[in-house]
């Protein structure tokens, strides 16, 4: 089976010269300024006369702003990132009107992501050298992995994280090779002590990256809190230490999740997960920190797009499916199952590990959906022994495109 071409981003670290860093910093500031002014104009137009200002109108505004003496500095940077930020704002409003997102907010100089996006007219890529508009020298990119053979980048996004590191993300067409055929299917139950429990009985311990570096992060945050707001250089150094602590945690977590999800996708043709609402689960103050550190949403996203790349299938079962309370052997449904119960014995005599039993039930429910369609469920029986079949709707597998829409 031939694979389809997909848009794939390749992210690399680079080390700019002082002149390039200054140029990019000016570009980040101009991008933020144009975004905020366009957002203010669109908000004012709607508040005064209920007029929806679109991208074309804001693009015309940008031309007018460049001609004023006050905003003439916008001409000093490439116009491509400025146009792209207006397109991003248009996308944010489209998501808002479609009720997929909240109303767009203004970008902050200290808290917002520092980035600029260049399309094909704003950069040159030749013989492994990447040069951005308004620059004479190519970026010193560390090409840690090669781009696809014959790749022609369509967009290049330059960013700087809170730790002061510079990154470039190159988007181009790719045709990922299909993974070797695998007939195995696995159910996954996510947790806090064990990050994932597989239907095979395997448990992957949660590395708790944030917990291991919590003391380092707390010390850096205390140092930052002691610096006065007007203490520019010292406060900037303290803020950089906090950013580096956060970056260390995020990098280690992302690396672990990439290795785990890649292994699961390579070894299994079908992967069944729960459709959890992590946003609602974070309202539990006792577990919010541990749930955030587990990054279940990021792990699901990785599973979905890697499955799309390599010809695998990810099935999400309904979040209300009682996977923990259902006996995977006889189908008996327990009346209640408190969180402190990690092992339990069914009336049929089978002793279950709570997480392994849940993973097996998730797998059975997912395979039933794949075979029979929505609404199918493994047969259950009440503790009294009477069969009880309950129709529950299970959403179809989410695609990568649907997740980003």
Q: Which residue has the higher pLDDT, 394 or 58?
A: 58
Distance, CA of 24 to CA of 6 (rounded, Å): 29
Strands 203-205 and 194-198: antiparallel
Q: Is 161 a catalytic residue?
A: no
Model confidence at 251, pLDDT cuts 50, 70, 90, reads very high
Q: Which pLDDT tens digit goes with each residue over 29-71?
A: 999 999 999 999 999 999 998 888 999 999 999 999 999 999 9
Rounded average pLDDT over 238-255: 94
- The whole-number pLDDT of residue 228 equals 80
Say what the pTM is: 0.81
Q: What is the mean pLDDT of residues 119-138?
A: 94
The residue with greater pLDDT, 257 or 228, is: 257
| Per-residue confidence band for 402, with pLDDT thresholds at 50, 70 and 90 | very low
- What tens digit of pLDDT does each residue of 368-390 get? 877 766 554 554 444 444 433 33
* pLDDT value at 272 more than 70: yes
pLDDT averaged over every residue in the chain? 87
**Using one digit for the tens of pLDDT, what is the confidence trace for 353-371?**
899 999 999 999 998 877 7
Determine whether 275 is an active site residue.
no
What is the distance between the alpha carbons of residues 259 and 193, in angstroms, rounded to a whole number? 19
Of 23, 293, 308, 355, catalytic:
355
Contacts 24+ apart (CB under 8 A), 322-329: 323/189, 323/274, 323/357, 323/358, 323/359, 323/361, 323/362, 323/365, 324/354, 324/357, 324/358, 324/361, 326/357, 326/361, 326/378, 326/380, 327/352, 327/357, 328/352, 328/357, 328/360, 328/361, 328/364
Q: What is the pLDDT of residue 389?
A: 32
Contact, 140 vs 20, CB < 8 A? no
274 assigned to active site: yes
- Whether the per-residue pLDDT at 161 is higher than 90: the answer is yes
Q: What is the pLDDT of residues 317-337, one digit of tens each?
A: 988 888 888 898 888 888 888
Strand partners, 297: none
The pLDDT of residue 231: 64
Beta pairing partners, 160: 114, 166
Mean pLDDT, range 180-198, rounded to an integer: 89
Task: Write down the domain spans for the chain.
Answer: 6-174, 182-405
- Candidates 23, 117, 174, 189; catalytic one: 189
For the chain, give the percent of residues with pLDDT over 90: 65
Position 394 scores a pLDDT of 42
Categorize the per-residue pLDDT at 397 as very low, low, confident or very high, splitting at 50, 70 and 90. Answer: very low
Question: Which one from 274, 293, 304, 308 is the annotated catalytic residue?
Answer: 274
| pLDDT above 90 for 122 | yes
* Residue 392, pLDDT above cutoff 60: no
């Amino acid at each position: 089976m031939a694979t389809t071409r997909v848009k794939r981003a390749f992210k690399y670290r680079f080390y700019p010269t002082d002149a390039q860093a200054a140029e990019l910093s000016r570009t980040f500031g101009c991008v933020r300024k144009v975004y905020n002014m366009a957002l203010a104009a669109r908000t004012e137009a709607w508040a005064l006369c209920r007029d929806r200002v679109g991208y074309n109108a804001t693009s015309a505004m940008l031309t007018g702003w460049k001609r004023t003496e006050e905003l003439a500095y916008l001409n000093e940077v490439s116009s491509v990132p400025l146009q792209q930020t207006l397109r991003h704002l248009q996308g944010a409003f489209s998501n808002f009107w479609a009720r997929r997102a909240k109303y767009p907010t203004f970008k902050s100089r200290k808290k917002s992501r520092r980035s600029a996006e260049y399309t094909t007219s704003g950069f040159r890529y030749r013989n492994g050298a990447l040069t951005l508009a308004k620059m004479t020298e190519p970026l010193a990119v560390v090409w840690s992995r090669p781009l696809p053979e014959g790749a022609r980048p369509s967009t290049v996004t330059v960013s700087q994280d809170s730790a002061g590191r510079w990154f470039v993300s190159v988007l181009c067409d790719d045709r990922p090779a299909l993974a070797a055929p695998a007939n195995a299917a696995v159910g996954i139950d996510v947790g806090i002590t064990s990050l994932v429990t597989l239907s095979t009985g395997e448990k992957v311990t949660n590395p708790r990256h944030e917990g291991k570096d919590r003391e380092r992060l707390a010390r850096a945050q205390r140092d930052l809190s002691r610096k006065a707001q007007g203490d520019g250089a010292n406060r900037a150094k303290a803020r950089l230490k906090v950013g580096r602590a956060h970056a260390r945690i995020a990098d280690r977590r992302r690396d672990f999740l990439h290795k785990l999800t890649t292994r699961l996708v390579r070894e299994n043709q079908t992967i069944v997960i729960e459709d959890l609402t992590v946003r609602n689960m974070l309202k539990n103050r006792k577990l919010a920190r541990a749930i955030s550190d587990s990054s279940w949403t990021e792990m699901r996203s990785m599973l979905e797009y890697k499955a799309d790349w390599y010809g695998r299938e990810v099935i999400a079962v309904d979040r209300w499916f009682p996977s923990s309370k259902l006996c995977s052997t006889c189908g008996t449904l327990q009346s209640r199952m408190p969180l402190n119960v990690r092992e339990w014995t069914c009336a049929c005599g089978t002793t279950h590990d709570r997480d392994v039993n849940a993973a097996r039930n998730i797998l059975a429910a997912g395979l039933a959906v794949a075979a029979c369609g929505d609404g199918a469920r493994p047969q259950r029986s009440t503790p009294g022994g009477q069969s009880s079949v309950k129709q529950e709707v299970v959403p179809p597998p989410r695609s990568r495109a649907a997740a980003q829409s």
